[in-house]
Amino acid sequence: MDIVEQLVTFPSAGRPPLTLEGALARPAFSSLANVSATPGAPDGQALRAAALLCHPQPATSSMDDLLTLTLARELASAGLVTLRFNFRGVGASAGEQTDGRLEPLDIAGAIEFLLTQPLVNAEKLCLIGHAFGAYMVLAYAAHDPRVKTVVAISPPIFRVTAELGQFERPKLFVTGEFDEVSPRHKLEPWLERLPSRALRVVSGARHLMRGHEETAAGTVVKYVTRWAMTPGV
């Protein structure tokens, strides 16, 4: 499916709001001509599931991280509307980094922006994060029931608390076989205490999935597209 991508800006939540930069990708409208219409959707088109992507550590990464970029474009090619963005203090996003204290306000602002986009199905919102971004989406989703599923790629074990991830909505966890920050033998005891979770391991990969982006993205896209097509979840 053909996609279109555009650079965008939007405000964070909170006061004063900060201007954040992002990239919005969606299927080209010409690619949607043969999909079944959703009653009430504009121009008789079908509403699309949406995915918000959160990048790894702000000190060393951005929305142009290769896995984040790959996921955004492959999910858009699969029919979703996607938004990747820079947390505060990264790239051209205003403000200063706060190591997770205020970054949930950035996610809140990004969700509000994403849900205003044409053809977005507000009942099908997915959060996807990698490393620091995985921690952020797990922490945020607990407080926003609009988020229907979460994909957490290599959530840093040193940030895990007893409360993190303790919500009933479905969650997919992905880690690398040789992940030095989120090793499987440390992830699994925590995941056993969480409801509605699954784990996938990317063979040969380390924490940032360098060289394994296509495999990791394929794992996530398969899960998200199946979720997007399943009513009521």
Query: Which residues of the chain are modeled with pLDDT < 70?
Result: 30-45
**HSE-up of residue 183 (Cα within 13 Å, Cβ side):** 4
Q: Quick one: pLDDT at residue 35?
A: 45
Q: Quick one: pLDDT at residue 33?
A: 47
Beta strands in the chain (DSSP E): 3-11, 19-27, 48-54, 81-85, 120-130, 147-153, 171-176, 197-202
Q: Quick one: pLDDT at residue 36?
A: 42
- Helix then strand count (H, E) for the chain reads 5, 8
**Residue 193, SS3 per DSSP:** coil
Q: Quick one: pLDDT at residue 232?
A: 81
pLDDT tens across 25-58, in order?
999 975 554 444 444 555 546 899 999 999 999 9
Q: Quick one: pLDDT at residue 82?
A: 98
| Cis amide bond preceding 58, omega within 30 | no
Tokens for 202? 């990317």
- Give the 3-state secondary structure percentages of the chain, helix then strand then coil, rounded to 5: 30, 25, 45
Mean pLDDT, the chain, rounded, equals 93
Q: Say how far apart CA 149 and CA 23 lie, in whole Å.
A: 21
Domains and CATH numbers, the chain: 3-25+47-228 (3.40.50.1820)
Tokens for 158? 């040193």
Task: Return the DSSP state at 230.
Answer: S
Phi, psi torsion values for 174, nearest 5 degrees = -130, 135
Burial class (CB in 10 A: 0-12, 13-18, 19+), 178: middle
**Residue 58, SS3 per DSSP:** coil
Q: Which residues contact 28 (CB under 8 A, 6 or more apart)?
A: 1, 2, 3, 4
